[in-house]
Amino acid sequence: MIGFDASHTRAHIYRSILEAIALTMKNRVDEMCAELGISLGKLILSDGGSNSGLLMPIFADVFGIRTARNEVNGSASLGAAICVAVALNIYSS
């Protein structure tokens, strides 16, 4: 990691990883928004990362918009289960 030396702790490295995740997500979201011709007004985070009190403000700063936690923790798993139920014709939609 460029610029890191013996004065940096695990916390510094952890934060840099979170910032890298947020910046990578921002780049991809910007590309998708440009392709769709839309802009975001709010960002809703879900699952493990949204439980972090550090990650939420990092995402808010990087995206420059308000962030919120999804009401359902584990929504990615729930969405996958719904897709499976529809694929197995347990539910029609």
pLDDT at 73: 76
Residue whose structure tokens are 């996958």: 80
φ, ψ (nearest 5 deg) of residue 43:
-120, 125
| Contact between residue 61 and residue 15 where contact means Cβ atoms under 8 Å apart | no
| pLDDT score of 70 more than 90 | no
The pLDDT tens digits of the residues spanning 33-66 come to 999 999 999 998 887 777 778 889 999 999 999 9
| Contact between residue 60 and residue 66 where contact means Cβ atoms under 8 Å apart | yes
| Contact between residue 14 and residue 22 where contact means Cβ atoms under 8 Å apart | no
pLDDT at 40: 92
